[in-house]
Structure formats: structure tokens, C-alpha cells
């Protein structure tokens, strides 16, 4: 069978995915982050443009209209620089903060919170020129190069179509005032950038889907890898099966010792069996000496019949005792009457008298 010799035909198990994540192997598209930040930044600028541009324009007007001081030394230069820095910080901080938040959300949204110290540890193999050469000229490197060229063509095409669509307005530029020309250029540049960012975002989404497909393909496992993982996590299946067989045999042996002590066995009638013992002189209440379901219930009934222990069908009582009472535990008080009735019936069959009955 070919898959035993290396064909990866099985989907990655949760354990393998967790191991890959701990090594930093997660689905992530750098194009999605960069395109998202670009598009988000442009939309943020558009939302804040009115107040931001008015503030900056007012600041530039003030700075350019003030006459320079006749004595302009180092101290005056430092004060002027600090004033400009404070004003720019106040105006641009909201914009930069929102863009930073968008960048964080885009990265965390792709990978979740992930900390992999091994990825930042020194690794000399990363600067190996031979490995670097093979990475550049590998199939993956060629595909990245082709995708990069394709993105350049898309950006150029979107920019050309965006500008070409407003060629009629551009013919009127010579008739406009300088202020109108500046507003027009700013408008056409902004919306061209938005269209380019939207196109890059679409390509980035396609790249993210490709990265997810490639990640799932790379994590696929061979049949032997699945078997090895099961052995490491659960132990050898043959050993586990042998262990279960031994445990089952121990339970069956215990049934052979405990069921003969019972006075009666109540059943469901075939799925459940509960063996009850009561010694009036030594017990305050009847106890469950054995219980089982399926084949175990069949075993209990067989042992009971072999030892001439009455087997009675009591569905509600059998279900209640099986689910609520453990082996070697007394029955609950709310079942005393039902069990006492059964024991009295069994004792009458044996010609005994039930005293101190529950």
C-alpha cells in the first residue's frame, strides 16, 4: 500500500496542529496585514480628514505667517521644534493609534495570541547562503515572485483605470485656480489609493485562503505517522487491548465471587442487572454486591441462575439502583419499600422469615 511509504492521506490530528502552533507554524498572510492596514488607514484618514486637515492647515498658516525673530538662537530653535512636535503629536496621535490598533487586530485575528520564543532564538541556518539560495529558487519562491509581479500589474491597472475614468475633469484643470487644482489632485490621489488598497485586500484574502490550504496540506499525515502518534499518546494499541482484556477478566472473576452472595437479582430485563444482598442480623440495609449492563448483565443473570438465585424483572427499580448506587453501597432510603417487598417475596419462596427488614 503506497500510503504506508509516505503518502500523506490523513488530515492532521489536533495534537499535530497544536505541535505546529507551538513551533510558530500557523496560517498567516503578510499581504492581508499590510493591505488591511493600508485600507484601514485610508478609511480612518477619510473619517478624521475634516478636523485633521483644518487643524494642520491652521497650524501651517500660523507658522508661515509669523515673522521670524531677529535673534534666533539654539534656545529659540529648540522651543520652536518642541512646539511643532507637540502640535503634530496631538493632531496625528489619534490617527496613528487607530492604525496601530488595526494592525494588531489583523495579526491577532489571523493567528490568535501566540508566543514562540524559538522563532526569535538565534539560528545560524537562517543565514546559510546555500539554504537561502534554495529558498529563493524553490517552487514556493517562484510562486511568491509570480504573485508579486501579478500584484504590481493589478496595482498599475487599477491606478490607470481610476485616473482614466476622470480624464474629462483633467481636461478642465487649466481653467481652475491653484486651490481647486490642489483639491482635485488630492481627491483623485486619495480615491485612487483607496481603490488600489481594496484590490490589494481582495488579493490578500485570496492569499490567506491559499496559505490555509497550504498549511493544511503540509500538516497532513501518513498512516505510519498517525499510528506513531497514537502509540505516543495512548500507548501501543495491542498493549491497550490486552490491558482492557485483563481488566475485563478481573471484573468477571469478581462477579463469580460476589453474585453468589446475593439474595436476588433485579433486571431491566436484559440491559441491566443488579444483585442485592441482605443479612438482617449484620446489615442495617440491603447492599448492592454487583451490577452491570449489556454482556455484564447477562453474566450476572447466568451466575445467579447457576446458584439458584431468583432473578426478577423490575425495570424502574433496576434503572434507579444501577445509576444511583455503587457496588458495596447500601440502597437509598427511598427504595427501602420496593426492595423490602422483593426480599420478602424471595424469603417466602425459600421458606424463610424476613426480620429487621428495611
The answer as to whether 7 is a domain residue is no
The answer as to whether 242 is a domain residue is no
Task: Residue 279: give the domain boundaries.
Answer: 256-350
Residues 260 and 171 in one domain: no
pTM, 2 dp: 0.53
Residues 34 and 87 in one domain: yes
Query: What is the number of domains present in the chain?
Result: 2
The answer as to whether 207 is a domain residue is yes
In a structure prediction context, what are the per-residue pLDDT tens digits for the chain, which is 358 residues long?
Answer: 444 445 777 788 787 888 777 777 788 888 888 888 888 888 888 887 767 767 777 777 776 666 555 555 677 667 777 877 887 787 788 888 888 888 888 888 887 777 666 556 565 555 666 665 566 566 677 777 888 888 899 999 999 999 999 888 888 888 888 878 888 888 899 899 999 999 999 998 988 888 888 888 888 888 888 777 777 766 556 666 676 776 667 776 788 888 888 889 999 877 899 999 988 888 888 999 888 888 888 888 888 888 888 898 888 888 889 888 888 889 888 888 888 888 888 888 777 665 544 4
Residues 179 and 58 in one domain: yes
Give the helix ranges, DSSP H, for the chain: 14-22, 30-65, 74-111, 117-120, 129-136, 139-164, 167-170, 178-218, 223-234, 237-258, 295-306, 315-324, 336-350
Residues 6+ apart with CB under 8 A from 230: 237
Residues 278 and 204 in one domain: no
The answer as to whether 5 is a domain residue is no
The answer as to whether 248 is a domain residue is no
State the CATH number of the domain containing residue 260: 3.40.1690.10
The answer as to whether 357 is a domain residue is no
The answer as to whether 78 is a domain residue is yes
Amino acid at each position: 500500500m503506497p500510503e504506508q511509504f509516505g503518502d500523506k492521506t490523513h488530515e492532521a490530528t489536533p495534537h499535530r496542529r497544536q505541535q505546529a502552533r507551538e513551533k510558530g507554524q500557523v496560517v498567516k498572510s503578510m499581504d492581508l496585514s499590510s493591505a488591511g492596514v493600508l485600507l484601514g488607514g485610508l478609511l480612518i484618514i477619510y473619517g478624521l480628514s475634516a478636523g485633521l486637515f483644518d487643524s494642520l492647515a491652521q497650524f501651517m498658516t500660523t507658522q508661515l505667517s509669523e515673522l521670524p525673530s531677529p535673534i534666533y538662537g539654539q534656545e529659540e530653535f529648540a522651543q520652536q521644534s518642541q512646539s511643532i512636535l507637540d502640535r503634530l503629536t496631538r493632531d496625528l496621535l489619534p490617527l496613528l493609534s487607530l492604525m496601530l490598533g488595526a494592525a494588531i487586530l489583523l495579526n491577532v485575528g489571523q493567528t490568535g495570541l501566540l508566543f514562540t520564543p524559538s522563532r526569535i532564538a538565534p539560528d545560524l541556518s537562517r543565514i546559510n547562503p546555500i539554504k537561502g539560495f534554495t529558498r529563493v529558487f524553490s517552487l514556493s519562491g517562484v510562486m511568491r515572485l509570480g504573485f508579486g509581479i501579478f500584484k504590481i500589474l493589478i496595482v498599475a491597472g487599477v491606478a490607470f483605470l481610476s485616473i482614466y475614468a476622470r480624464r474629462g475633469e483633467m481636461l478642465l484643470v487649466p481653467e481652475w485656480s491653484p486651490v481647486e487644482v490642489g483639491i482635485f489632485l488630492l481627491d483623485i490621489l486619495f480615491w485612487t489609493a483607496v481603490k488600489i488598497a481594496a484590490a490589494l485586500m481582495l488579493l490578500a484574502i485570496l492569499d490567506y485562503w491559499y496559505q490555509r490550504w497550504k498549511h493544511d496540506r503540509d500538516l497532513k499525515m501518513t498512516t505510519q505517522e498517525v499510528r506513531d502518534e497514537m502509540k505516543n499518546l495512548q500507548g501501543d494499541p495491542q498493549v491497550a487491548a490486552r490491558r482492557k482484556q485483563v481488566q475485563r477478566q478481573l471484573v468477571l472473576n469478581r462477579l463469580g465471587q460476589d453474585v453468589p452472595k446475593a439474595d436476588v437479582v433485579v433486571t431491566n430485563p436484559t440491559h441491566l442487572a443488579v444483585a442485592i444482598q441482605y443479612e438482617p442480623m449484620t446489615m442495617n440495609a440491603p447492599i448492592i454486591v454487583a451490577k452491570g449492563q449489556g454482556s455484564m448483565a447477562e453474566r450476572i443473570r447466568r451466575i445467579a441462575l447457576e446458584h439458584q438465585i431468583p432473578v426478577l424483572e423490575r425495570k424502574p427499580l433496576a434503572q434507579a439502583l444501577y445509576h444511583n448506587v455503587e457496588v458495596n453501597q447500601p440502597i437509598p432510603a427511598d427504595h427501602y419499600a420496593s426492595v423490602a417487598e422483593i426480599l420478602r417475596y424471595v424469603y417466602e419462596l425459600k421458606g424463610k422469615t424476613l426480620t429487621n427488614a428495611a
